[in-house]
Amino acid sequence: MRPLRLSSSTYFSRRRIQFAQCYHQTPRHLSAMSSENPTADHPASPGDDHGKHPRKLIFAPGDIQVSTPNDQTTPPHKPDTATPANVSRLVAEALRSETSTPNSVTENQIVSHPARAHQFVTNPPLTVSQMHPTNPLHQFHTWFRDPRLSASSAPETCTLATASLPSGRVSARVVYLKELDERGWVVYSNWGSRKGKGAQVFGTQADGDSVLGAMPEPCADDDEMPQGNKWAALTFSWGTTERQVRIEGLIEPLSREESELYWRTRERGSQIGGWASWQSKVLWSAEPDSLIERRRKSLAQDVFPQAIPGDVDETDIDDGRALLEKRVHEMEERFANTEQIPLPPFWGGVRLVPESVEFWQGRRSRLHDRFRYVRVHDPQSDSYKWRIERLSP
């Protein structure tokens, strides 16, 4: 169990904010889960206080630190021993890194060790009896609390993928899970750039402005909501437990009140950085081949890994970092006399409301176990339930 990464009802009962009722007025959102029985699923009734205050299963992991006995320090990496299998693997890796086009001799050396590939042997077989019978969010919660995932391994690290329309061009970036509640997975970021994920998710501005002036409200009408591609995917990969979780669904913005709650957990330097950064804006560029003569001469080109020289401040060239630091200094002066730095209008949280959630666990010979939850509409209750499928590896 890893209670430090989970919200406690005592702590958050004072800090939860009343979420907009519109989240529960449409079947697009998940039904609430009973606080008395966390494994039971039921729709939130209008008078149900739990429907107004959805229970957070995870809140700000990595930001709020509490020592627990289950937080174990990651054991130091043990160097490969000189066994024949490891030696052959190292030889193969060296050949791959040093030879772009192997000749017949090196090819034979590489393919002569077919057992060098990593085999997944950590876990017993994954069967449907081990999966939560009705709700993938609880199943994710169970895997996330696995004591083998220490705090130092940052299990909240994940990859968010979005796509531009109409081109369909996909981009992905590493982000951090900050909340898991009864409706989905929450991440926070700067969404202001028209060149980055903000434009993909929320669309470009009708007035041609280069930045998103303010985060859309979650209950905005379709005419008011910027038009972008709300479909996104989130992937968690945990090498320690040889598991992955893949979530696909629709992105919805959090209310400003919800974003402010997390914003207040960030340290002051990160808040300044949130204001200072024009995320994804080009600060500097160099034309092809223009750096050959301009780059610093004191850097040893043939040494690996390359060391940063002691006189880098005198010998290096301006590459745009000074512009960012100037912006940071301006924000520090702007908020010098402000005790609580306000939330930027273009910065906030989004929730990925799942349509499907896949749980992947490695098995020997690449015969992995894969179970997927797919949300299906229940016409009798006008809500959603989850169908469970086993997928071929």
| d(C-alpha 366, C-alpha 368), whole Å | 5
| d(C-alpha 184, C-alpha 353), whole Å | 5
Consecutive 10-residue averages of pLDDT for the chain (393 residues): 40 37 40 40 42 69 56 48 51 55 65 66 91 96 96 95 88 94 92 66 56 60 66 96 96 92 93 88 82 61 61 72 92 95 91 97 92 91 90 95
| d(C-alpha 44, C-alpha 384), whole Å | 12
Here the tokens at position 33 are 């889960």
Q: What pLDDT was estimated at residue 37?
A: 43
For the chain, which domains are there? 122-267+348-390 (2.30.110.10)
Give the 3-state secondary structure of residue 269.
Answer: helix
| d(C-alpha 380, C-alpha 315), whole Å | 72
Question: At a CB cut-off of 8 Å and minimum separation 6, what does 359 contact?
Answer: 126, 131, 136, 139, 140, 143, 243, 244, 245, 370, 371, 372
Q: What pLDDT was estimated at residue 6?
A: 39
- Assign residue 350 a region: left if phi > 0, alpha if psi is -120 to 50, beta otherwise? beta
Nearest to 161 by CA among 143, 178, 147, 174: 174
Q: What pLDDT was estimated at residue 384?
A: 87
Q: What pLDDT was estimated at residue 100?
A: 56
SS3 content of the chain, % helix, strand, coil (to 5): 25, 20, 55
**pLDDT, tens digit, 9 for 90 and up, residues 64-103:** 555 544 544 445 445 444 444 555 555 556 555 555 565 6
Q: DSSP secondary-structure letter at 114? A: G
Q: What pLDDT was estimated at residue 40?
A: 43
Q: What pLDDT was estimated at residue 11?
A: 36
Q: What pLDDT was estimated at residue 26?
A: 42
Please report, for residues 91, 300, 310, the alpha-carbon distance to residue 296 in angstroms, rounded to integers and kept in the order given.
34, 10, 12
Q: Are 177 and 158 in contact (CB under 8 A)?
A: yes
Q: Are 156 and 61 in contact (CB under 8 A)?
A: yes
Q: What pLDDT was estimated at residue 239?
A: 93
Q: What pLDDT was estimated at residue 342?
A: 94
**pLDDT, tens digit, 9 for 90 and up, residues 260-277:** 999 999 999 999 999 998
